[in-house]
Amino acid sequence: MPKRAKRKRGLLVVISGPSGVGKSTVVRRLFKVYPKLLMSISSTTRTPRPGEIHGQHYDFITQEEFDLRVKQHKFLEWAKVHGSYYGTPRQYIEDELKQGEVVVLEVDVQGASSVKRLVESGDLKASVVFIFLIPPSVDILAFRLKKRKTEDEEVVNYRLRAAIAELQVMEKYDYIVVNDKVESAADKIKAIINVEKERTLVN
């Protein structure tokens, strides 16, 4: 037994899942029931959807600005997803994790495996938990994607095909959460975070 309680280090919560499964909706709910969490705001070259706010949903930037930030190593990880570029801000994440905070990242499967490599190589000092959100069925996923009405039919079909490919890698995640009801999915993620926080003691 240690003489004193050990200091806890930060926890990175990585959430992935196919487009339209409800990641943004569930994460929004999660912040309501768990306001102490911090959210990382990614940069993207994608055009904003109606209602999306710069600096709140994403940091919407040009391709030139994105390329510059890649060169300057400003991203912890970055990837091309569905034809646009997305990147996670390095400095913010590292600073908050050092303070012992719990930071939530919503990234695609490429981003999640980059984060895994960084943690395993010791380049990122944090505990990390990988959560994959799945729909109750592929039909429901198709319905949600169409219901959002933010993409045209061609993009919806493309995203659906990508979703089926993404579902193949879900076993690599620590937890698979079914987004049946928004409230219960958020409650399940909250419970996972609380358990994982207890495992983040450092020697």
Q: Does 119 bind ligand ADP (CB under 6 A)?
A: no
Q: Which two tokens stand for residue 163?
A: 């979703």
Q: Does 44 bind ligand ADP (CB under 6 A)?
A: no
Q: Pinpoint the alpha helices (H) of 45-169.
A: 63-71, 90-98, 109-120, 138-148, 153-167
Q: Does 200 bind ligand ADP (CB under 6 A)?
A: no
Residue 52: CB minimum distance to ligand 5GP, A = 8
Identify which range of 31-39, 78-86, 90-98, 132-140 contacts ligand 5GP by CB under 6 A.
78-86
Q: Does 181 bind ligand ADP (CB under 6 A)?
A: yes
Q: Does 19 bind ligand ADP (CB under 6 A)?
A: yes
Q: Which residues contact 86 (CB under 8 A, 6 or more apart)?
A: 42, 43, 44, 45, 46, 78, 79, 80, 107, 108, 111
State the residue for tokens 């490429």: 110
Q: Which residues contact 116 (CB under 8 A, 6 or more apart)?
A: 128, 130
Q: Tell me, what DSSP letter sits at residue 8?
A: B
Q: Does 116 bind ligand 5GP (CB under 6 A)?
A: no
Identify which of residues 70 and 162 has a Cβ nearer to ligand ADP in the complex. 162
Site for ligand 5GP, rule CB under 6 A? 19, 23, 42, 46, 77, 79, 81-82, 86-88, 106-108, 110-111
Site for ligand ADP, rule CB under 6 A? 17, 19-25, 144, 147-148, 179, 181-182
